[in-house]
Structure 1
Amino acid sequence: MKNHKPFLVGITGGIGSGKSTVAQIFSILSIPIYYADDRAKWLMAHDPHLKEQIIAAFGKESYSAEGELNRSFLASHVFADEDKVKLINSLVHPAVRKDFEAWSAAQKSPYVLKEAALLFETGSYQELDKVINVSAPLKLRMTRVLLRDPHRNEAQVNAIIDKQLPDEEKNNKADYVIKNTDNKLLIPQVLKIHQELLNTQIGN
């Protein structure tokens, strides 16, 4: 195989769709996974330039005296305000993009996966070669989330769902759709996509 940068594949899905489970299956196949949402939190806490930008935008209360991210302050003063959410996203998303570029360039795999809840909503899917959407019926997703996160109620889950594109729209935008329902096996679907992606790279 020619020496080139890895093929960039996104994996997304609404809350409770099971995208993390699907990502784990790809991980078992030795495909590197970049967890964008976790990485964004890490960068907000550790990237000096991003920290400076957040403090400039939202004040010193954004971090504790020890320099730790003040999550309760951000939750009550930033994430409750749609304009402030757009502002913080405009700071965090470029930092994540730069971090992902550096991470993916260091990988030796034929392709890598970027796992993120809001790939389509943020427009970051446009920087990827292919996108996989993990799809599941709304009722099943709600049941999964309430079982997984007992501290959440139905209204809170619906509030999160409202900020995400409808499943049908994601399916139409995605290159691949994995159906994570109770009567559909996940592993054969993942293996089929995995083989297609490998074949694409061999063809190049």
Structure 2
Amino acid sequence: MTKIIGLTGGIGSGKTMIANYMQSKGVPVYIADDEAKKIMKSAEVKELICSEFGDAVLKDDNIDNSMLAKLVFNNPDKLQKLNGIVHPLVASHFEEWLKKHSDFPFIIKEAAILFESGSFKKCDAIITVIAPLETRIDRILKRDKTDRESILKRIENQWTDKEKMSKSHFIIRNITKKETINQVDEILKKLNNQ
């Protein structure tokens, strides 16, 4: 039976870099956020989102993710409604994807809100990526067109590193790329030997 290894961490912790590295090592990686974005492009889901949040979230007939983020990250009820639309569809897509990778001893399911969504309960082990707050903020400022205040609001909507670490089997401290890769290699070695 293929084991599901959850990979999570707060925004800007470096999950994507780690997921890409694992993929380069031949490990199948499911990136939940990427799949959610694809799902949100379907006509059916766009309609559901627009009926919930209004046409203001549309831009060029697509969901304007930055507008939607502004609406939901300041409002837990709206965030819950959005998650109620998207999460069940991502969960069902993941189950189909998992069937196609059932010949692997384990796969990685990368999700920013693995704990918050409750999907960690279906994982056989969890890897949490952590990094100092200022490092995370710096990374996000360089990557996204956003501001410090918006980043801090998004961080407030996620579990703290301490909460995540208490439920994790492996912790990656992502400060320098070389040290991080060494930690990932160690974890992969352990997972391959289980």
State the TM bucket, normalised to the shorter chain. 0.7 to 0.9
> Residue 38 of structure 1 aligns to which amino acid in structure 2?
D
Match of 1:193 among 181, 187, 192: 187
Greater Cα shift, 134-143 or 181-190: 181-190
> Residue 27 of structure 2 aligns to which amino acid in structure 1?
I
Measured after TM superposition, the shift of residue 121 of structure 1 is 1.3
The equivalent of 1:88 in structure 2 is 82
Match of 1:46 among 42, 47, 51: 42
3-state SS of paired residue (1:17): coil
The equivalent of 2:96 in structure 1 is 102
Match of 1:12 among 8, 12, 17: 8
The equivalent of 2:117 in structure 1 is 122
Query: In structure 1, how many angstroms separate the alpha carbons of the residues matched to 2:177 and 2:100?
Result: 38
The equivalent of 1:131 in structure 2 is 126
1:160-186, Cα deviation, whole Å (9 max, x unpaired) = 111111112111111110111239711
Are residues 33 and 84 of structure 1, via their aligned partners in 2, closer, same or farther at CA, if it must alter by over 3 Å?
A: same
1:123-143, Cα deviation, whole Å (9 max, x unpaired) = 111111111001111122222
Match of 2:148 among 149, 154, 157: 154
Question: Bigger radius of gyration, 1 or 2?
Answer: 1
Percent identical across equivalent pairs?
A: 38
State the TM-score, normalizing by the size of structure 2. Answer: 0.86
Q: How many residues align?
A: 193
Query: In structure 2, how many angstroms separate the alpha carbons of the residues matched to 1:72 and 1:17?
Result: 20
The equivalent of 1:29 in structure 2 is 25
Measured after TM superposition, the shift of residue 106 of structure 1 is 0.4
Tell me, yes or no, if the aligned pair for 2:8 and 2:129 is still in contact at 8 Å: yes
Measured after TM superposition, the shift of residue 120 of structure 1 is 0.9
Query: In structure 2, how many angstroms separate the alpha carbons of the residues matched to 1:73 and 1:153?
Result: 14
Query: In structure 2, how many angstroms separate the alpha carbons of the residues matched to 1:63 and 1:142?
Result: 28
3-state SS of paired residue (1:122): coil
Measured after TM superposition, the shift of residue 54 of structure 1 is 3.4
Q: CA RMSD in A?
A: 2.5
Are residues 102 and 143 of structure 1, via their aligned partners in 2, closer, same or farther at CA, if it must alter by over 3 Å?
A: same
Measured after TM superposition, the shift of residue 10 of structure 1 is 0.9
Tell me, yes or no, if the aligned pair for 2:73 and 2:153 is still in contact at 8 Å: no
Measured after TM superposition, the shift of residue 78 of structure 1 is 5.2
Tell me, yes or no, if the aligned pair for 2:46 and 2:62 is still in contact at 8 Å: no
State the TM-score, normalizing by the size of structure 1. Answer: 0.82
